[in-house]
Amino acid sequence: MWCWEEWYSMSATSVKNGVVDSSRWVSATELAEQIRTGQRSAVEAVDEAIARVETLDVHYCAVVAPLFDRARRRALAVEPSAPFAGVPILLKDAGEELADTSMWVGTQGLMRAGHTSRTTTVLAGRLEELGFIVIGKSACPELSASSTTEPPGFPPTRNPWDLRRSAGGSSGGSAAAVAGGLVPIAHGSDGSGSLRFPAALCGVSALKPSRGRVSTAPAAGSQDPLNLWTQFAVARDVRDLRALFQHLALDHQRTGPAMSALRCGVLDSDPIIGLSVDPATVLAVRTVAGFLEAAGHSVEESYPTAFDDLFEPFWQTTQTIGPWVRASQVAWVAERLGRPVVDGDLSASCLEQAKRGRSIPETEISQALKRVADAMAPVQDWWDDHDILITPVTLEPAWTLGQDPAIRTGMFAA
């Protein structure tokens, strides 16, 4: 089993057939520039990424479905003027789809059936229009519904910094692939932490855009009445996230006034559930706050005090909305399979939760959604006087595989 010192010793370069692969740690924007100026071809960039997957992913289990032949064909025909022409990327195996490619969403039933997508979704198509070459699908938990990527029937996705530990979820495959140097950037999605959890655990960067900024498709036909799901990416270089946002945001203004000093609040404890925060996590929050203060921004001990009253409405609503969402996902799987879902297609716990969800009256669903909306409304007032709230992402750093992730994440990313 690797440890981070062994992994880091490989980090400067990797070797492919005796040749140093210097593109392993190049950012997406840098790689696009190399391809644009002829220093490297799109085919070379894709072949190098494929070689890294074939060599290294046996350790990470980040790529659940390779699309190598398709990627090589597209690299030969990529539009050279596209902003990310030839840059290899992974597409999370949930929500966004590419026609005629595998899509399993971490489920044994769809995997055994060899399920493929019928159409290409808007965002997946847009990524390819930008010149990205999808070399494979990244792993996610069953129905993209966990903060660790350990779906039944699939190998667990491992954290490149320590293969004994979780890469997080639900975009765990994407974060592990980026942290391990397989690709410079990878697609992911986030409802209540699914991009941010794995990015934090794997030491890479992520952004969950505000609602409505990027075209999105919830995972596995999920009901999303609160409009929580967002699609974006993880990357090693935050400049890649900025560049991608400029191309994907539906109403992004490329120019604007210079940013003035930010008004920042700091929260390093858990006011909602009251669980303890690991000292290493507290130190990380304090370090970020110190950097911002040193850069001239205003930093104070402040957070929306309405958080203190969120536990009860969130807990009650979770017991209602969770099973209801799971029922819609199981129905989606059945529709994709073309038959009823049976034991073995999905985990027993998932099927049991969906069964409960099908019996919940619509009036109860409506009441639960209203409770959440009413509880969250006072939180917005705090933002009238603040720009940023600095918090942990999870309660603790990456935990050992096989442990219950629910008590290790908390509600910071909700």
User: In the prediction, which pLDDT does 258 show?
Assistant: 64
Taking Cα atoms as reference points, which of 191, 198, 121, 193 lies closest to residue 158?
198
Which candidate in 27, 171, 194, 205 is catalytic? 194
Q: Is 269 among the catalytic positions?
A: no
List 27, 92, 174, 189, catalytic entry: 92
Residues 6 or more apart in contact with residue 46 via CB below 8 angstroms: 71, 72, 75, 86, 88, 133, 135
d(CA 78, CA 213): 26
Q: Which residues of the chain have pLDDT under 70?
A: 1-22, 251-259
Contacts of 43 (CB under 8 A, 6+ apart): 72, 75, 76, 86
Q: Tell me the per-residue pLDDT of 231-272, one tens digit each, with 9 for 90 and over.
A: 999 999 999 999 999 999 976 555 555 668 999 999 999 999
What sign does the dihedral 164-168-173-175 (CA atoms) show?
Answer: negative
Residue partners of 16: CB distance under 8 A and separation at least 6: 48, 51, 52, 55
**Residue 295 backbone dihedrals phi, psi, to 5 degrees:** -85, 0
pLDDT at 38 (0 to 100): 97
Instruction: Give the end-to-end CA distance of the chain in Å, rounded to a whole number.
Output: 33
The predicted structure's pLDDT at residue 313: 87
Beta strands per DSSP E along 273-383: 298-300
In which residue are the tokens 């030839």 written?
Answer: 86
Rounded Cα gap, residues 121 and 134, in angstroms: 14
The active-site residue, picked from 23, 146, 166, 170, is: 170
Amino acid at 285: V
CA 91/CA 374 separation, integer angstroms = 35
170 catalytic? Reply is yes
Contact yes or no for 232/190 (Cβ under 8 A) = yes
| Catalytic (active site) residue 102 | no
